[in-house]
Amino acid sequence: MNAGREALTAAHHLADLGRWREAAEALRPALAAEDTAYEAHCLHAHCLLNARSALSPLWWSESRGAVRAALRLEPHGAWAHRLLALLLLDEGRKAAALREAVEAVRINPEDAGALNVLARCQLACFKVDEARRTAGAAIEANPQDPFAYLTLAEVARARYDWAEAERAYRDGLRLDPEHEALALGLGELLFMLHRTLESAEVYLGAARVSPENDALSKAFTEIWWHLRIIKDKWRRNPRSAAAPELADLAELIGPARSEPIDAAVRDLRAATSESRVKVEKLLERALDVFGSVAELMGATAYTSPGPGTELKSFAYPMPAVPGPPAESGWYVLGMDDDPVPGDVSRFRLAVATLGYEGELTAEYAAEFDAVAHGSAGLRVRDGDDADFHELMVEIHEETTRLALTYRAWADALSAFAAGVTLAKDQSSGARSWAASATRFRDHATTAEQAREWEDERQEAIRSAHAAAGLRNEAEARCVEALRAALPR
């Protein structure tokens, strides 16, 4: 083994250990040797991209120079194209980065690293479904790479698929329990999902690995505050003070500007109202049946109120952070307004209200079920042969259906809000992308540079139109789910 190859092997080993400066210094003989120069330049750029300013204050220009040198030596080198994609992504040239990542995968379709970078570039360009498929392919190519699971988790979060994101984080941490980015990502996700104690455990594990990380002190502060809030909460009557009435839902979903959803919700409101009236009548009949027999048995109907009932608390959702003004800069996309219309910021309150109604109704259903089971051996009938047990079974079945309707209703609106939010993220990102591309195009010093930045702007415009399609698809799915939720 010659000196260049020995130096390259040593540098790879040091880089695997995260000793970036030592790895970069060990590369010098490999950079000078013809047979190792390409790989050495790539590894040098890899070290700079990971260590950044800790390795050199000029890390960006040096890493770019290393990649260019590698491409001069091997124009079809997959590693060099992958590194260039990462550099372009850092620069904000998302479409150009995507092209380089695609080229890296074309050269080496089985390279897990290239697939991983491609997934990140696709995600940056709002090609979320493609990014999910590519991230899965990266894991198939190398199931032992924790970083591939980090990418899958980030893609899942962009899709608002919290369950898949959590699985990906945990799968990656099983491979590398000390992976800082995986631990911090999982902790942040669990905290966001209000699983406070679980997130605290994850953050503590991350602190043992990287106690100097600034994100940890903030996370622990938030957790401590949240736990104190939980501890110091006091009992209250939330029904009249906090939980909106179902009749107020039209005000909450109206700003979404979806007539098909408004119509489906009106039909659901009517159907659930009818179902509630039916349950009320059945209960009245059941009480009449039981009362008529009870009186014959010498029972006394007490008129004094029973013990106070502890009302179920309503978790009022935090208000959504307001977005930018509607008129801010859509002209860079050749549009007058956001291609994704409507405001779903109040859907969280609508979903919480429906979830609350579903939980209350499910609790009633459980109580009715207990009564029905308890009365199975007590055949109480009135003169018309109405059976108390059968009435209670019917009441339980009706309230169970109603509880499921509320839950399905909440799920449908929640999914629509998530879809619109995702589409608005994409349209807003496309606007920023186009604004940046327009600025660079207008200040380009050569015609070629102007064409490149105009290409970026056109990609942003296509992304904005695709965002509008995402919103329409979410609306169609929501209407279908709302119609399916009608109590039968």
pLDDT digits (tens, 9 = 90+) for 362-382: 877 887 776 676 555 445 566
Does 437 share its domain with 405?
A: yes
Rounded CA separation 266/260 (Å): 10
- Which residue is associated with the tokens 């579903």? 358
- Summarised one tens digit per residue, pLDDT across range 156-205 is 999 999 999 999 999 999 999 888 889 889 988 988 887 765 676 677 66
Rounded CA separation 9/2 (Å): 11
- Summarised one tens digit per residue, pLDDT across range 438-470 is 999 999 889 999 999 999 999 999 999 999 999
Output the pLDDT for position 304.
42
Does 221 share its domain with 272?
A: no
Output the pLDDT for position 307.
42
pLDDT category, 250, cuts 50, 70, 90? confident
Does 423 share its domain with 280?
A: yes
Residue 112 lies in a domain: no
Does 191 share its domain with 290?
A: no
Point out the least confidently predicted range of 278-287, 295-304, 411-420.
295-304
Point out the least confidently predicted range of 23-32, 233-242, 296-305, 348-357.
233-242
Does 358 share its domain with 432?
A: yes
Q: How many helices (H) and strands (E) does the chain have?
A: 20, 0
- Summarised one tens digit per residue, pLDDT across range 326-347 is 556 888 888 888 899 888 888 8
Residue 95 lies in a domain: no
Does 353 share its domain with 396?
A: yes
Higher pLDDT, 317 or 467: 467
Rounded CA separation 291/281 (Å): 15
Backbone angles phi, psi at 381, to 5 degrees: -130, 155
Residue 119 lies in a domain: no
Does 213 share its domain with 333?
A: no
Residue 335 lies in a domain: yes
Residue 137 lies in a domain: no
**For residue 206, what are the domain limits?**
177-230
Q: For the chain, what is the domain count?
A: 2
Residue 239 lies in a domain: no
Does 355 share its domain with 462?
A: yes
Does 286 share its domain with 196?
A: no
Does 213 share its domain with 265?
A: no
DSSP states of 270-306? HHHHHHHHHHHHHHHHHHHHHHHHHHHTT-----S--
Output the pLDDT for position 227.
45
Q: Is the per-residue pLDDT at 399 higher than 60?
A: yes
Q: Is the per-residue pLDDT at 106 higher than 80?
A: yes
Does 288 share its domain with 181?
A: no
Does 332 share its domain with 384?
A: yes
pTM of the predicted model as reported, rounded to 2 decimal places: 0.61
